[in-house]
């Protein structure tokens, strides 16, 4: 009898312990901090673990919770889509951000370009005419704002406009990004007419930054961008008194220098080592500022990446590994010639090849009296003969395509018929798109393979137990998890699931 009683006491106390890990209704953190590290492969966590200090990345690993197998569940794996999917819990099919650049019904569009708004903080039209106008669904921040009758403050900060604007959503109070020409953080009239005093004060400091003056517009190639982004995030934290109101606030910080450096110098070498170790120090500073202002245990952090990156193709070949270049410029030229010779198209019919997707000119095809399906079939016929492609799929027939279910699902998740083009290809493992813009020592990303699609996912802080899980989860699970913990509705096109933190 005693044994049975002891057993029940043990079970009950275990249940109480696990119940306590989850926030109860009425409980809420003071602040949510979302951190996205652009181009951070999951394996960088272990590669640099012994070199990291205790209070940056390692605070999240050693004290927080790591989902060790977080994958991106759509194609292509690029920056704007990654940021959007993490914060909306959904994929391009629903949120409509189908690339950094894509065609909307045949019109070449930059993801955040908005000619109806003006820059605020500089007169640089090219850098400042930006907003979330092309985003079709809500973000975590939008839901937080809705839930609190717009009392919660939501702010985005990054070097890249898209990495600041898309996380902050439609109703974010502000998104700030760097105008590298004027060396200032700016925003647009979508958010406000004038920068707040604290932002102007920080910009004054930035104008005197000698290191920034020296490197100028190339700042993205230096760890300095991480320092500046952190300074701006801390300035926003203090200036807006985030985490000090009645409602939960949200700060979305994205670090982009890691991507710029990766594109230039690849996944290996001094530049990449330096930028991650410097970023570790930036995170240490950010967490210290959060501890001081909001208090340890009062804020909830998640850290992830928008995508990873392949190893440099030459580095792979030098080490006898299968890899190479896929020259999309040449493919486009040859594809045009092939279609012209087969169908007699007098004018070009390919608008562009963006991120392994072929965008056809529907209007031009119709004007030439050609049938779209016939053009697609001929294009596919050519692409299937072209080297180093594993799969060539007509998007409209993807559901029936003879490719694995795993890949089919990722293609369809990424497909929005107004914005994603007509044909998607997958290159052989180790291969990547290479053009006149590519750095021979660098890398890129965009594919489904683990090097591009396996990203860190760490939670830390308010109510988060220490632990790790090896199970497969997805970038689209981040938003519903945060929303579940805040007891707020999920974003309005969310397809992910709220994750359990089991010890």
Segment near Zn ion (CB under 5 A), from 54-62, 146-154, 251-259, 404-412? 251-259
Rounded-to-integer distance, Cα 324 and Cα 275, Å: 26
Q: Which residue number, 142 or 452, has a Cβ lying nearer to Zn ion? A: 452
Segment near Zn ion (CB under 5 A), from 253-261, 321-329, 431-439, 479-487? 253-261
Question: Per residue, what are the HEC states of 341-374?
Answer: HHHCCCCCCEEEEECCEEEECHHHHHHCCCCHHH
**C-alpha pair distances (Å), 265 with each of 324, 332, 368, 440, 444:** 16, 26, 44, 8, 10
- Residue 384: Cβ-neighbour burial (10 angstroms; 0-12, 13-18, 19+): exposed
Least distance in angstroms from the C-beta of 291 to Zn ion: 32
Helix-helix angle 257-265:224-239, to 10 degrees: 170
Segment near Zn ion (CB under 5 A), from 99-107, 109-117, 259-267, 326-334? 259-267
* Closest-CA residue to 376 (of 30, 294, 384): 384
Task: Kindly state the tokens that stand for 234.
Answer: 């801390």
Task: Kindly state the tokens that stand for 93.
Answer: 């099919």
* Count of beta carbons in the 10 Å neighbourhood of residue 248: 25
355 scored as a contact of Zn ion (CB under 5 A): no
Q: Which residue number, 86 or 144, has a Cβ lying nearer to Zn ion? A: 86
Q: Which residue number, 77 or 90, has a Cβ lying nearer to Zn ion? A: 77
Rounded-to-integer distance, Cα 462 and Cα 30, Å: 9
Segment near Zn ion (CB under 5 A), from 69-77, 110-118, 256-264, 475-483? 256-264
Least distance in angstroms from the C-beta of 16 to Zn ion: 46
* Count of beta carbons in the 10 Å neighbourhood of residue 114: 18
29's CB contacts (< 8 A; 6+ apart) are 248, 298, 299, 300, 461, 462, 463, 485, 486
Place of tokens 């820059």: 119
Question: Per residue, what are the HEC states of 252-280?
Answer: EEEECHHHHHHHHHCCCCHHHHHHHHHHH
259 scored as a contact of Zn ion (CB under 5 A): yes
Q: Is 225 a catalytic residue?
A: no
* Count of beta carbons in the 10 Å neighbourhood of residue 24: 9
Beta bridge partners of 300: 32, 461
Which residue intervals of 77-129 are DSSP H helices?
79-88, 92-95, 125-128
Q: Which residue number, 446 or 491, has a Cβ lying nearer to Zn ion? A: 446
250: left (phi over 0), alpha (psi -120 to 50) or beta: beta
Rounded-to-integer distance, Cα 4 and Cα 56, Å: 46
Segment near Zn ion (CB under 5 A), from 213-221, 252-260, 338-346, 398-406? 252-260
Least distance in angstroms from the C-beta of 100 to Zn ion: 8
Least distance in angstroms from the C-beta of 274 to Zn ion: 18
Segment near Zn ion (CB under 5 A), from 171-179, 226-234, 255-263, 475-483? 255-263
Binding string to Zn ion for residues 421 to 460, with x set by CB under 5 A, is what? ----------------------------------------
Least distance in angstroms from the C-beta of 167 to Zn ion: 16
Could you say which of 77, 79, 90, 476 is catalytic?
Answer: 79
Q: Which residue number, 102 or 462, has a Cβ lying nearer to Zn ion? A: 102
114 scored as a contact of Zn ion (CB under 5 A): no
Q: Which residue number, 259 or 447, has a Cβ lying nearer to Zn ion? A: 259
Q: Which residue number, 114 or 259, has a Cβ lying nearer to Zn ion? A: 259
Q: Which residue number, 91 or 256, has a Cβ lying nearer to Zn ion? A: 256
Rounded-to-integer distance, Cα 503 and Cα 500, Å: 10
- The catalytic residues are 79
In the complex, the residues that contact Zn ion under the rule CB under 5 A are: 259
């Amino acid at each position: 009898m005693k044994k049975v009683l002891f057993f029940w006491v043990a079970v009950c106390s275990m249940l109480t312990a696990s119940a306590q890990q989850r926030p109860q209704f009425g409980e809420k953190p003071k602040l949510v901090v979302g951190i996205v590290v652009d181009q951070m492969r999951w394996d960088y966590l272990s590669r640099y673990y012994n070199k990291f200090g205790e209070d940056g990345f390692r605070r999240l690993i050693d004290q927080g919770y790591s989902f060790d197998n977080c994958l991106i569940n759509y194609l292509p794996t690029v920056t704007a889509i990654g940021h959007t999917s993490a914060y909306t819990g959904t994929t391009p099919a629903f949120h409509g951000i189908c690339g950094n650049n894509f065609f909307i019904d045949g019109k070449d569009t930059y993801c955040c370009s908005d000619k109806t708004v003006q820059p605020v903080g500089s007169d640089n039209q090219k850098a400042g005419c930006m907003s979330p106008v092309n985003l079709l669904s809500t973000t975590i921040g939008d839901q937080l704002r809705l839930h609190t009758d717009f009392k919660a403050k939501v702010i985005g900060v990054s070097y890249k406009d898209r990495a600041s604007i898309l996380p902050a959503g439609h109703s974010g109070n502000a998104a700030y990004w760097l105008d590298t020409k004027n060396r200032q953080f700016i925003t647009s009239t979508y958010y406000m007419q004038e920068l707040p005093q604290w932002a102007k004060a920080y910009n004054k400091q930035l104008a005197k930054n000698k290191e920034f003056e020296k490197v100028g517009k190339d700042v993205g190639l230096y760890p300095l961008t991480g320092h500046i982004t952190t300074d701006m995030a801390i300035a926003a934290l203090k200036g807006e008194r985030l985490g000090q109101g009645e409602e939960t606030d949200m700060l979305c910080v994205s670090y982009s220098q890691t991507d710029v450096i990766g594109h230039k110098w690849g996944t290996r070498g001094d530049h990449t080592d330096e930028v991650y170790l410097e970023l570790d120090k930036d995170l240490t500073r950010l967490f210290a500022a959060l501890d001081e202002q909001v208090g340890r245990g009062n804020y909830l952090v998640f850290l992830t990446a928008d995508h990873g990156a392949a190893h440099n193709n030459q580095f792979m070949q030098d080490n006898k590994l299968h890899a190479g270049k896929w020259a999309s410029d040449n493919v486009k030229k040859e594809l045009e010639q092939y279609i012209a010779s087969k169908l007699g198209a007098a004018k070009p019919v390919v608008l562009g090849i963006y991120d392994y997707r072929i965008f056809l000119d529907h209007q031009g095809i119709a004007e030439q009296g050609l049938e779209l399906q016939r053009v697609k079939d001929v294009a596919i016929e050519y692409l299937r003969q072209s080297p180093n492609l594993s799969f060539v799929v007509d998007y409209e027939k993807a559901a029936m395509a003879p490719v694995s279910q795993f890949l089919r699902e990722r293609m369809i998740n990424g497909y929005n018929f107004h914005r994603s083009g007509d044909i998607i290809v997958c290159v052989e493992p180790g291969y990547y798109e290479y053009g006149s813009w590519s750095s021979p020592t660098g890398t890129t990303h965009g594919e489904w393979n683990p090097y591009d699609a396996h990203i860190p996912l760490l939670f830390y802080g308010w109510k988060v137990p220490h632990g790790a899980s090896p199970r497969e989860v997805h970038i689209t699970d981040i938003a519903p998890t945060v929303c579940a913990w805040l007891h707020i509705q999920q974003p309005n096109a969310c397809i992910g699931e709220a994750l359990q933190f089991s010890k």
